[in-house]
């Protein structure tokens, strides 16, 4: 008994302030094995010491002991739940263990990156690089991407396309996308977030307008234990052809909660205006209020991630002929890793829009459909693969099917798109 007490006291003495300072110097100098050997004898006596376990986790991770690192970073978080370094360290440990889905959930208690690749492994590794930068002492964490590709866009034959022309049209296109963002850590739990994303598509059919779209976001976020909250402003400017533009601007908030290593929940709210400043589309200007709720689940030991998001809201203050509308829908997504270089994803979307103005002067075709007020069901299904052929580079074939069903003939629409892009993440 006396010997056990002495050993415990000796272990506690190893993790003294002086030794923690020495271990920190060793880690900063890249001498991880020495730091591990200095601190590991005291591991059993420092389970409640956030600083000691943080250093132990870093040393273990850097010396090829990710399972130990996971334990030490978890202990550090238990003692200091708001610790950015411990959250990011634990996420890096999950990546080293190949548990990419749990890693992404852990990283997202701190980081807010938009526009990431659809492959869960690539997402986790981009987050991990930012976490590495933070561990190296950098407060400004950045990411960027560029895409270039081409494909085919086909308008499928529907009751709407038959009535108004265009069914069966098929156009080739080239596309480009450039974007990125930053996360600036102000202190141990606050951060500034910002992103820019520009998308361009040029069709070989001169009768079809090119697509031009700029999206932006600026926000402040905070880590609160296993939660992350964010509030900010975001919007987009889109070219609609014939000199017309669509401008979106809104304020939003979102809360994410990591229930455990396999489950994340989220709630969000946004109020925005979709504005068509001039031209033929001006009557479509409207305000939108929307609520969202999501659940993310890690599957297959972190090699896959399933997410489902429910949304609902109202569009109002509009002069369009069908009036205001209520909407609600679901978006499920499955992302998976096949091997170290190959991954994939599939997703779906369903949304119901119910409008409030009864149509007058109904045409003969619309009378057949028994129209009172407009009711739309919007469906999308798509998927693709991601093949990483070099560090930071991937080849991405994708396909997207869209089907809009409405009791208004003119609103029925369907299309199929297939394309291949080369993506560079930096």
| Tokens found for residue 37 | 């050997």
User: Is 119 strand, coil or helix?
Assistant: coil
Confidence of residue 372 (pLDDT cuts 50, 70, 90): confident
Please, are residues 11 and 39 in contact by the beta-carbon 8 Å criterion?
Answer: no
Predicted pLDDT of residue 18: 77
Beta-strand runs (E) in 156-285: 170-185, 190-203, 211-224, 227-241, 244-260, 263-275
Fold observed for domain 139-425:
Porin (2.40.160)
Tell me which residue of 66, 136, 160, 143 sits closest to 404, measured CA to CA. 160
How far apart (Å, rounded) are the C-alpha atoms in residues 15 and 72?
14
Instruction: Please enumerate in sequence order all residues whose Cβ is within 8 A of that of 390, keeping only pairs 6 or more positions apart, or say none.
Output: none
Confidence of residue 165 (pLDDT cuts 50, 70, 90): low
Q: Is the pLDDT of residue 370 over 60?
A: no
Among the listed ranges 14-23, 68-77, 118-127, which one has the minimum average pLDDT value?
Answer: 14-23
| Tokens found for residue 325 | 């509308």
Confidence of residue 163 (pLDDT cuts 50, 70, 90): low
Predicted pLDDT of residue 160: 60
Q: Is the pLDDT of residue 161 over 70?
A: no
Q: What is the mean pLDDT of residues 41-59?
A: 91
Q: What is the mean pLDDT of residues 8-18?
A: 51
* Higher per-residue pLDDT: 375 or 241: 375
What b/e string do you get for 213-223 counting C-beta neighbours within 10 Å, with b at 16 or more? eebbbebebbb
* Higher per-residue pLDDT: 108 or 5: 108
Please, are residues 15 and 42 in contact by the beta-carbon 8 Å criterion?
Answer: yes
Please, are residues 291 and 269 in contact by the beta-carbon 8 Å criterion?
Answer: yes
How far apart (Å, rounded) are the C-alpha atoms in residues 193 and 97?
28
Predicted pLDDT of residue 169: 84
Q: What is the mean pLDDT of residues 298-323?
A: 96
Q: Is the pLDDT of residue 166 over 70?
A: no
Alpha helix locations (H) across 154-278? 159-164
Domain boundaries, the chain: 2-80, 139-425
Are 2-80 and 139-425 equal in CATH topology?
Answer: no
C-alpha distance from residue 212 to each of 169, 218, 244 (Å): 21, 21, 11
Confidence of residue 418 (pLDDT cuts 50, 70, 90): very high
- Helix %, strand %, coil % of the chain (to 5): 30, 50, 25
Backbone angles phi, psi at 321, to 5 degrees: -65, -30
Please, are residues 379 and 412 in contact by the beta-carbon 8 Å criterion?
Answer: no
Confidence of residue 280 (pLDDT cuts 50, 70, 90): confident
How far apart (Å, rounded) are the C-alpha atoms in residues 242 and 240?
7
Predicted pLDDT of residue 279: 82
- Return the percentage of the chain with pLDDT > 90, whole number: 80
Strands 373-390 and 393-406, how do they pair?
antiparallel
| Tokens found for residue 334 | 């499955």
Predicted pLDDT of residue 10: 37
Q: Is the pLDDT of residue 13 over 70?
A: no
Q: What is the mean pLDDT of residues 210-227?
A: 96
Q: Is 7 left (phi over 0), alpha (psi -120 to 50) or beta?
A: alpha
Please, are residues 310 and 294 in contact by the beta-carbon 8 Å criterion?
Answer: yes
Among the listed ranges 7-11, 46-50, 349-353, which one has the minimum average pLDDT value?
Answer: 7-11
Count of Cβ atoms closer than 10 Å to residue 103 Cβ? 29
Backbone angles phi, psi at 168, to 5 degrees: 90, -10
Average pLDDT, the chain: 90
Q: What is the mean pLDDT of residues 388-417?
A: 94
Predicted pLDDT of residue 399: 98
Residue 92 CA from chain centroid, whole number: 18
Count of Cβ atoms closer than 10 Å to residue 426 Cβ? 12
> 212 - beta bridge partners?
200, 239
Predicted pLDDT of residue 7: 34
Q: Is the pLDDT of residue 380 over 80?
A: yes
Highest mean pLDDT among 46-55, 155-164, 341-350: 341-350
Instruction: Please enumerate in sequence order all residues whose Cβ is within 8 A of that of 333, keeping only pairs 6 or more positions apart, or say none.
Output: 118, 306, 307, 308, 345, 346, 347, 348
Confidence of residue 19 (pLDDT cuts 50, 70, 90): confident
Predicted pLDDT of residue 162: 56
Q: Is the pLDDT of residue 42 over 60?
A: yes
Tell me which residue of 115, 339, 97, 152 sits closest to 106, measured CA to CA. 97
How far apart (Å, rounded) are the C-alpha atoms in residues 303 and 274?
38
Architecture (CATH level 2) of domain 2-80: Alpha Horseshoe (1.25)
C-alpha distance from residue 97 to each of 65, 70, 100, 105, 107 (Å): 9, 9, 8, 14, 15
Confidence of residue 181 (pLDDT cuts 50, 70, 90): very high
User: Is 82 strand, coil or helix?
Assistant: coil
Predicted pLDDT of residue 144: 97
Q: What is the mean pLDDT of residues 234-256?
A: 93
Confidence of residue 83 (pLDDT cuts 50, 70, 90): very high
How far apart (Å, rounded) are the C-alpha atoms in residues 261 and 131?
18
Verdict on whether the full-model pTM lies above 0.85: yes
Please, are residues 120 and 127 in contact by the beta-carbon 8 Å criterion?
Answer: no
Cα-only R_g, the chain: 26
How far apart (Å, rounded) are the C-alpha atoms in residues 60 and 52?
12
Predicted pLDDT of residue 243: 78
Q: Is the pLDDT of residue 360 over 70?
A: no
């Amino acid at each position: 008994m006396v010997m056990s007490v002495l050993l415990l006291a000796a272990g506690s003495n190893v993790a003294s302030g002086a030794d923690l300072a020495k271990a920190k110097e060793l880690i900063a100098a890249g001498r991880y094995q020495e730091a591990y050997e200095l601190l590991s004898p005291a591991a059993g006596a420092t389970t409640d010491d956030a600083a000691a376990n943080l250093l132990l986790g870093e040393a273990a991770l850097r010396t090829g002991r990710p399972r130990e690192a996971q334990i030490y970073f978890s202990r550090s978080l238990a003692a200091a739940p708001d610790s950015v370094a411990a959250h990011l360290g634990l996420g890096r440990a999950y990546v080293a263990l190949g548990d990419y889905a749990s890693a992404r959930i852990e990283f997202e208690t701190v980081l807010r990156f938009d526009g990431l690749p659809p492959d869960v492994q690539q997402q986790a590794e981009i987050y991990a690089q930012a976490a590495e930068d933070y561990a190296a002492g950098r407060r400004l964490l950045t990411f960027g991407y560029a895409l270039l590709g081409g494909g085919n866009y086909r308008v499928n034959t529907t009751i709407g396309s038959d009535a108004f022309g265009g069914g069966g049209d098929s156009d080739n296109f080239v596309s480009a996308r450039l974007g990125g963002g930053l996360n600036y850590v102000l202190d141990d739990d606050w951060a500034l977030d910002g992103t820019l994303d520009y998308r361009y598509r040029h069709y070989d059919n001169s009768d079809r307008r090119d697509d031009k779209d700029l999206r932006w976001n600026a926000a402040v976020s905070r880590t609160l234990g296993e939660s992350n909250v964010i509030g900010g402003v975001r919007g987009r400017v889109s070219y609609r052809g014939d000199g017309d533009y669509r401008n979106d601007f809104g304020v939003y908030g979102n809360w994410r909660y990591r229930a455990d290593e396999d489950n994340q929940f989220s709630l969000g709210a946004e109020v925005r205006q979709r504005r068509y400043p001039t031209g033929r589309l001006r009557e479509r200007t409207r305000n939108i209020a929307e609520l969202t709720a999501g659940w993310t689940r890690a599957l297959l030991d972190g090699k896959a991630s399933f997410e489902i998001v429910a949304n609902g809201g109202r569009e109002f203050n509009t002069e369009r002929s069908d009036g205001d509308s209520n909407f609600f829908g679901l978006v499920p997504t499955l992302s998976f890793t096949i091997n170290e270089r190959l991954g994939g994803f599939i997703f779906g979307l369903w949304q119901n829009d119910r409008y409030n103005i009864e149509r007058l002067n109904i045409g003969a075709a619309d009378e057949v459909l028994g129209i009172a007020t407009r009711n739309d069901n919007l469906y999308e299904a798509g998927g693709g693969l991601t093949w990483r052929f070099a560090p930071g580079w991937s080849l991405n074939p994708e396909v997207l099917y869209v089907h809009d069903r409405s009791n208004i003939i003119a609103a029925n629409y369907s299309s199929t798109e297939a394309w291949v892009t080369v993506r560079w993440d930096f």
